[in-house]
Amino acid sequence: QVQLVESGGGSVQSGGSLRLSCAASGLRYSRYSMGWFRQAPGAEREGVASITTGGITTYADAVKGRFTIFRDNVKNTLALQMNTLKPEDTAMYYCAAASIQWSSLTRGSYDYWGQGTQVTVSS
């Protein structure tokens, strides 16, 4: 069975940094595009960053220049380096896998989801 497990969330002050990790199992990881999504209470789940099987990345405008997505196809892991965090970055962050070969920040493109890890940024 496919399993995606996020870790690395926490509470930080505005301007701080966090690195989120996602461990994938039960799928041929290198064949999947991967993404990070986030959802604040009462809001829609939105795409944050994605990376294709070939390593091409896409970022939401709100995080460009601050966040970096990267993957390790040997260890079957995905990471999101988040710098210069802002209170508006506060959300539950989810790792997702898509059986597509292109980049997507659309929820419907993704087949599997992790349970989420909470990120809270205080002002």
- Give the mean model confidence (pLDDT) for residues 42-50: 97
pLDDT digits (tens, 9 = 90+) for 47-90: 999 999 999 999 999 999 999 999 999 999 999 999 999 999 99
What is the predicted pLDDT for the residue at 103? 85
- Longest alpha-carbon distance in the chain: 41
Strand partners, 119: 10, 91
Report angle CA 58, 59, 63 to the nearest 5 degrees.
165
